[in-house]
Amino acid sequence: MNRQAQAAVLFLTGAALLHAGFTNLYLRYVKAGLQPLLLASGAVLIAAALATVWYEWRGSKGKQSDGHGDGHDQDDGHAHDHGDGHVHREPRVSWLLVLPLLALILVAPPALGSYSAMRTGTALQQPYGYNKLPATGPLDLNVVDYATRAVYDHGRHIEGRQIKITGFVALDRTGSPYLVRMALNCCAADAQPVKIALTGTIPPVLQPDKWLEVTGTYTAKQTKDPVNNGPIPYLRVMAATPVPTPKDPYDESWNN
């Protein structure tokens, strides 16, 4: 891989990072808070590519002006004489670096869903504290907030309140339904599920990975996750409405 090819790969990688950072595509890979770092990385790669091209052009102009342009110094992308009498060939394996770039450009991985959720134990953790809730009216909670309040706060501040929660559907081997959200620490590679078991007025037909806005109430009933024996609270369902997949399918609130 010669200098021109290296610059091209750097430029395309930087451009792909900027494209992902300025669109919702980056949310398939990392949490929203890392967007500035992703954009900065893309800008640095593009700057490095442009600097490589400029230095290469300046070096070639200098060789032409001083009359030194023999075959040993030409950058043909295959072999170079570094002054020790031996011709050094650049390893072709370096072209494998193009594969991650092609994957980033051509393949947008789907967000992790029910298949991963039901094969991974719940990541529910006891929080350091809870956000203050409005005194009256329905509560709009995320999966992590409801689950932690139901398990570790024993529903003290949500009992008797109408609750709305959005998540995707997952079914276990027996067909029992769960409302799930994948929680992130940093990126999709470390995503783990937080699950809520559903009881009450459950829709007769549920499809895995379909997103629902569920309206219900707290119940003290709990079960254990068969994967890691972690606690899974129940929600008593009053109504369930299909909703589109959210812009950010991951939940980042569990470690905030």
Point out the domain boundary residue: 69, 87, 106: 106
Looking at the fold, whether 86 and 201 belong to one and the same domain comes out as no
pLDDT 10s digits, 30-77: 666 667 877 787 788 878 878 877 877 777 766 666 655 554 444 444
Range of the structural domain that residue 220 is part of:
114-255
Report the pLDDT value the prediction gives residue 164, as an integer from 0 to 100: 96
With 0.85 as the threshold, say if the pTM is over it. no
pLDDT 10s digits, 161-219: 999 999 999 999 889 999 999 887 766 667 789 999 999 999 888 999 999 999 999 99
Point out the domain boundary residue: 56, 90, 106: 106
Domains contained in the chain, number: 2
Residue-by-residue DSSP string for the chain: --HHHHHHHHHHHHHHHHHHHHSGGGGGTB-GGGHHHHHHHHHHHHHHHHHHHHHHHHHHHHHHHHT---TTT---SSEEE-SSS-EEEPPGGGGGGHHHHHHHHH--PPPP-HHHHTTS-------S--PPPPSSS-EE--HHHHHHHHHHSTTTTTTTS-EEEEEEEEE-TT--EEEEEEE-SSBGGG-EEEEEEEEES--S---TT-EEEEEEEEEEEEEE-TTT--EEEEEEEEEEEE-PPPSS-EE-GGG-
Looking at the fold, whether 7 and 127 belong to one and the same domain comes out as no
Report the pLDDT value the prediction gives residue 75, as an integer from 0 to 100: 47
Looking at the fold, whether 169 and 85 belong to one and the same domain comes out as no
pLDDT 10s digits, 116-165: 889 999 989 888 888 899 988 899 999 999 999 999 999 999 999 999 99
CATH code for the domain of 200: 2.40.50
Looking at the fold, whether 123 and 248 belong to one and the same domain comes out as yes
Point out the domain boundary residue: 89, 106, 123: 106
